[in-house]
Structure 1
Amino acid sequence: MINIMIVEDDKLVRKGLISLMPWADYGMKVTCEANNGEKALSLLETTTIDLVITDISMPVMTGLELMEAMQERFSHIPVVLLTLHQTFDYVQKALRLGAIDYISKVELDHDNFDDILIRIQQKLQDVRKTTTKDQQKEYFDTDEAYVWLTRKEEGELSDTAIHQVGHSPLIVREDVYMWILEKGQQDQLRQRLSELHETHPTASLCHLTGIQGKSLQEVRQALMAYSSHAFYYDFSPSRCFSDLSFDQLLASSVKDDGQEESIRSALISLQWIQDAELLDKVLHDWKTQSFPPSRVDQQVYYMVSEWNRVYSPVVEQTIHYPGSFAYWHDVKQWFYRTQNVWRTALAKPTLSEEVKACIYRAVFIVNDELSSPIHAEYVSKKVNMSRSYFSQCFKEAVGMTFNDYVRFVRIEKAKEYLANTDKPVLWVAEHTGYSDHKYFSRLFRQQVGVLPSVFRQQQREGEKNDN
């Protein structure tokens, strides 16, 4: 009996397929069902399935995304795509991802049920015959291959591009292709791939070694893991070919050794603005942590938010979050551009670079220790300046006295707490450096024009009107 999983978000369609099609007549049985690809993956962990029939358009995870995810652990399970999309592009993409067939929903009526199941049955028999033959070639007998890697957003190589290379690749995933190197082919294949790379600058070519004796599944999984993580850090637009061993594919992993907080603090403090070597060192330390790309994006977003919160009121410069980065190379280039933006924004001709670095370090300290008592003498010592000279330079660089700046930052933070939390005024006062909440309320009223409780009420009423 062939065990089948139906994956379809439309309950009526899903139940109709299960109940109306004559599965048993063709040695088939619907063992389980799912309403999206993510649920289907979960069921595959615990259920023996011989065939997956999946819709293409679903929330959470589409049918094509499910097929891509299955390649990592369930590549042995055949897939039939159920779709309204009959365009050539959709069909080609599905077949390249391993679909053995596709069913157009317009075919689904009683007159066609038997024809559909006969076709699927024949496809399954063909797959089993092919699998039996390929089992004899399960392990690579050559040691080298060329691998093409690019971003998923770039999409798969076109048939024209593959034809240009002149050799058929093993498609690991839509963004990962592998050409097995046979004797006498290496130079010609390398030349053609180099020519193809000229029109695909965001791709990378690797000379992969060490695969002899490895199974297709081992190499496929290692390449997919590498392309999802380490390739993000290894990519260089100035390099067409790079050497990569199979052991290197397996070695990529997160090396978090607790430096994340120190790296983040160093970048937020802007000490690197006038120190190119410091920026290079911090970026190098950050790269060695090998965080997942999504985590790098989150860290940059946090830094941009902190920069704008701490420094924008002082220098009238806003840094915009650039969105997700394709590669680590892009992260570095963005920081170098941002360094120049900050240099221009922080330019004060009458102050030395060393003094400016000290003053903006002081700005960071004020914002970082806002809930504690903060005095000019304490901060001036932390930045290695005399109190009188510090006060003079601070006013020139920031545009207000040190005490006025501390008061400004505390009130702004209090406004943020009042608008976005339900914490009592006493709590807000304590967390913005005021031990006497009555004094805090009087000062808040002087600066803002209303008491803290009234300010909060106005903010809530404004939100209601907006909604």
Structure 2
Amino acid sequence: MANEWLTVLIVDDELPIRQELRLFPWESHGFELIGEASNGEEALRFCRNFTPDVVVTDITMPVMDGLALFRALREEYPEALVILLTCHSDFAYACEAVKLGAIEYIVKVTMGEDDLGCALDKAKEVYARERSRRRSETERQRWECSLKLRRFAQDPEAGGMTDFLWEAFGLGLPLRLTALHVEARKENRLLVKREVEETLTELERSHLPFAWVPAEDGVYLLLFEPSVQRSAGVLRDQLEAAMDALCKVIDSRLAYLSGAFRLYAVIGEPVREAADFPGCYRTVANEHPNRFYDAASRVFIADTAEAAGAPDETANAEIREKLKQQDREKLVHQFMHELPRWAAKFRIDPDTLKIWAADWLREWLHGQSSGARALGAAKALQEARTIGELIAVIVHEVETLGGKKRKLRKEIADAQHYIGNHLDQSITLPVVAEQVGLSPHYLSRLFREEAGISFNDYITKLRMDKAVHLLQTTSMRVYEVASAVGIPSYRYFNATFREHTGAAPTAYKKG
């Protein structure tokens, strides 16, 4: 809660009051002012688009007064917190509204910064309390199950596992553990995690044959019904169906992320007795080694996994020698064809491969590239989620050395043109792929290879560059800028902007 900012809408028909409230140091209290309205009806329209956490509203206003707005918010947005501004003549109404659930009332003629600050502190406390209260009994039980399963995974001698599995999930031995892995960039992780968990709960409640519990950060244990577990083929089909449903929902709710996440699942070997549980749990919960080399697959079988390793010295010396030559075209060929085969053959640990790739690239670009560019390439290498993305970063750096840049393929140039002309709209990988006549998976891979940047990162860069321009050159409010660059979520826009620029959007507005 200490790091969570709450959003605020101010509502008053008197312009001087709104101007005074604009000057209040919202950020120092942990709040973000996202909009204002001159009456209740206008405020309600705003809430339907942006859903602020706190509404600071006058009582006496034309069109729709503050009490009518308060009742409408109770009906449509019961989680919204309301602080009332009142004149002396409104006092009885204010007291009644507080009885009905308003956070606080403040007399406008004597309102000071401390008064509003105290009301906001109270709103924070109520927000935290209500958020905690809204956690359902089902979620509490889910976390208890997660803790017990982790304890069984850490302590092979812990008794009662078979009784617990039967009581909590109706499962007996043997059973197969299945884990869903969710990969997303740092700035997207919380949003994607929230949507994944909400969607898993919805799928569970729709009577799909599984229960889910958190396993590790970004990993969810899926426990399928016995009838599904009897056949590995049926289990795999159910996993594919669940991931299809997850991707569809997340893409619709978070279209502005443009597919910047990846889901894959791991099916473990059968747990035939309690002593097998810890090993099987770790196998499915840990990052699967094949996912780096096999980007097209979404379901991996644990007993067919090959452990990541390191090449022998002869092979290592051979590949390094090939990468020493200085001809750009030959080097690109080596990186695009020889290196992937060589790395996949030995199933080299991805983190080790990234370190080696950075060393190889630094050796070849020595003296030919700026320090800033080298750091950017190293960061891009570390963020590569597949061998294809890793190779794409390397090839892009080699091909664009010295300012020389090859002409983009028509499909990628067309994709970039379409993106640039539709930044204010929902841009998803499938939509752009359809526009340029490619499959989404192929466009994603080709975009990285041709442009040297991922599809999502390219869109984010363009959106943030446009946001900076709008903040510096127009009088648009921050939430209006967020909407203008195609990001309807104010929180996500704020977090992404900070990640991209190192400052809050309001700092750019202030110059």
Larger Rg: 1
TM-score bracket relative to the smaller structure: 0.3 to 0.5
Q: TM-score scaled to structure 1, two decimals?
A: 0.39
Q: TM-score scaled to structure 2, two decimals?
A: 0.36
